[in-house]
Structure formats: C-alpha cells, structure tokens
Structure 1
C-alpha cells in the first residue's frame, strides 16, 4: 500500500475496505513518531470505527519501514508537563485505559506491527485485541531512559500478559527485544515474515467481520471485564447479555443459516 505524502507533522490515514477500517500511521520520514495532530487524528479514527454502523473491525498499521518510534518528545513535552492529552474529551481513547472523560472502544481492533515499535508503539499494540508482528520488529519500552514513565498502558498490560517479573525486565532496563520474545510474552499473537504482517492482519479482521457484530462486541467486552475486574464481574453479565443477544435478528439468522447449511448474513441487529 502506497503512503500518501504526509504533512511535516504527520497524519493518520483512514481507508474503508467493506466492513473494515484501515488506520494508517503516516510519518515515515520520522519513523512515524507521534505528534499532537497525529494523536488527535488517531482518536478521531477510533471514534469513527465505533460510531459507524457499517464498520465492524479496525486494522491499525503503519506506512514506511517502521510501526512507530513512539512519541515525538519535542512536540509533545509541553502537553506532558501540563498533564494534558492531545485529543479532546468525548472521543475514543486510543490506548483504551478508561480515563475519565474519554470513551472506550467497543469494536475489535487488529494491529500489524513492523520494524521499530518503541514506547507508544508497544502501548498501542497492547491496547489492540490481536497483534500480528513482522519478524523484523524491534521493541523497546524505553521511557525510563528518557526520565519519564510509560503512561499509555505498558505498566498495566505487560504484567497482565507476561507476569510482573517479565514486565519489570523490559520496563526497568529499557532494553530492546525481538518478535520472538514478544510472542513468548504474549505481547503479540502471530509472527510472520516481514512484509506479510498487514495481509495477515487483514485476513484475521475479515474473519472477525464475518461473525455476528453484536456477539463480537459483547464477547470482547466481557473478556476485557474479566481481565480488568475479575471473573466474578464478568459472570454477572452472562445471563442478561445472552438474553439480549438471543433475541436479536442476528441470532435468528444464525439458527436459519445452520438449518439451511449456508454462511450467515449478519446485519448487526
């Protein structure tokens, strides 16, 4: 996929492919380092994914050789000192942390990462639901090397996925690790030859998009609740959620397609 020429501060490029929304990070001349306008546009893209009923799955990817080197610190430092975000209240927060004033994403997101995937890059992929990594990835959570702390979710999600000791190994040393280590730690779900990561992410996203949208969202949110609030909180939703889903048109279509031995045609209602 050819990258449109971005402005100097970079941009986020969205492309609709049927029920998928491709969300491309576009500042390859600066290793896709994130500036405030890029943050705002990324939040807008995630909000579009959630709000448009025609869209079912997002695919986060990057133009150029690298996913992202992380924050463009000179352009973002003043916001950090003020404790402000680069996007306004009311939009979907790309790191999906549940920060007061921001929305959480409900629809699934698949990320395709490659090359340099530092700091924010790791946090964006950990906030996605499924990650496909190229075998040339270089990962580093190096905030401590810059005198700051990772606040996009790494301190939470690394230990959730890999255990506290493994998280501390990478958070506190600012070391660089590869795709095989990321797979071992459950930071990514698949590793493919470089150049194939976006195709594989699209294949997975298309498979998700063929499923019943209401059931996909409900399943995703329940699994996240189990991780964040514990199994008991997730179990409390089982009966009410199943009642709601089983009364939907999609559930009726699922039964019909089973009886008629054909692929289901789900409408998201």
Structure 2
C-alpha cells in the first residue's frame, strides 16, 4: 500500500485515509485500486469490526481524474481489482464490504467523493462541506451509485433537483436531505466518525453483520424478502457465545465483552 491511501488501526477499527491532499484527493486509478485493497483488508480481517473512511488535508475529494477514467470507461468497465479487494462504491455484490463503514467528509466532496460517501453506512460532515454531483456539467452522468443512492436516501424530487442541475449544496442541506447523519465543527468530523465506529465495534460482531445484511437485503431485494429471512437468520445467533454473554451482561448489570463467536 503506497501513500495514496494511508491505513491506521484504532483497536478494532481500521481508519482508511485518502492521501493526495496536494491534488484535492482526486481519485486516479491507482488510488481506486489501493482503496479497494484497503476495504478488502477490513473485510478479511476477523479482528477488525468497523471502518472509518476519511481524507487527509482540507478536502475530501474533488472527484475522479477524468482523463484517466474516460479512457478506462471506454473499455466498458471499472478497473480490474485484485482478488482480495472490495468494491469501494459497493456496486459489485460479489465484492461488497460486509462490515460497517463510517465516513467523515470535509471541504470539497464532488462526484465520486459523494458516491463513496453514500456507499458508506453512516456519514458525518464538517460544516465547511461543499457537495456536488456535477457530472451533467461535464457531459457525463454518475456511474458510481448516485442515481440509486440519492433516491434511496431522499425523495425523487430532491434527488432530481441536484442530479439534473449539478448544483452544489452545503452540509446543512445534505443533513436536511438525509445524505449525512451529523454535521460537526470544522476539524471534528474524523473524531466524531471514529467515536461512532468504536461504538459499533463494541457491539456483538456477528449481530452487527447480520443487522447490516438484513437492512441491505431490504434495499436490494425488497422488504418481503428481508422479512422472510428474519427468523432463519436469527437462529444461529441464539446459539452463539456472544448471545450468552449479552444475556449475562444484562443480568449482571455490566458492559458486555463480545468475542465474535
């Protein structure tokens, strides 16, 4: 992993940082592949329970480096990824990160940056954020998930308002629309995202993964499909060590110590 993506571990949380601040963290193909490898590391390490995606410098990302990506897209596909990598945009169901991702954004968050953020599960924005899904202003349209996730997170009219105009919007508007869950002071987004991730990491790992899986099934396959799996997918958890520990901690009035079994 070179310096276009930096990794640090905070106990059970893997912090994944975009690290091209001199280029406004613009995503070239190398950064995309390295980011996918970092997601794969999070997904494949059983000792890691949650991730935080953030960016070094004043801005999250200005988006794709279009000269590289236009050539790539003319091939009709995203870049090929290593076998152990996960798709950071969450578009490939066979390469989707199975663990929760909390995203911290600041400054400029355009195009692919906004789509990366929306591929996460919980989003925290700094007050200075400038959001823009501006592909229509470049003769393109979003292919990193925005046309799906805008609609999942807000109404049709609100989604079209920004997808079709390419207009920018601020952190408070993103919060009103449901694209971010919290807005915090400048310089505090990463710490707040890490706090949320650590709270997730303290819960029972198998229960967290199953909760996330059930919620995604509802989005991807519909509510009825998710409902059909509720009890069948609960049964394995009832026989787990963590369930026994959860009951014991409740009866003994103490914090639970979950081990993921």
Q: Which TM-score band applies after superposition, normalised by the shorter structure?
A: over 0.9
Asked if residue 70 in structure 1 is aligned to residue 63 in structure 2, the reply is yes
Judge conservation of contact 1:133–1:179 (CA < 8 Å) in 2.
Answer: yes
TM-score using structure 2 length: 0.96
Cα root mean square deviation, aligned: 1.2
3-state secondary structure, aligned to 2:95? coil
Separation in 2, partners of 1:160, 1:61: 23
Q: Which one of 2, 7, 23 corresponds to residue 30 of structure 1?
A: 23
Judge conservation of contact 2:42–2:50 (CA < 8 Å) in 1.
Answer: yes
> What residue number does 1:244 align with?
236
Judge conservation of contact 1:144–1:172 (CA < 8 Å) in 2.
Answer: yes
3-state secondary structure, aligned to 2:72? helix
Unmatched 5+ stretches in structure 1: none
Separation in 2, partners of 1:203, 1:155: 30
Judge conservation of contact 2:37–2:82 (CA < 8 Å) in 1.
Answer: no
> What residue number does 1:117 align with?
109
Separation in 1, partners of 2:185, 2:176: 17
Structure 1 residue 75: Cα displacement:
2.2
> What residue number does 2:127 align with?
135
Q: Which runs of 4+ in 1 moved over 6 A?
A: none
1:191-247 Cα deviation digits (max 9, x unpaired): 001101001001100100000000001001111111222110111111111101111
Equivalences for residues 87-98 of structure 1 within 5 A: 87-88=80-81, 90=83, 91-98=85-92
Structure 1 residue 89: Cα displacement:
6.0
Q: How many residues align?
A: 259
Asked if residue 177 in structure 1 is aligned to residue 169 in structure 2, the reply is yes
Asked if residue 61 in structure 1 is aligned to residue 54 in structure 2, the reply is yes
Q: Which one of 162, 187, 196 corresponds to residue 204 of structure 1?
A: 196
TM-score using structure 1 length: 0.94
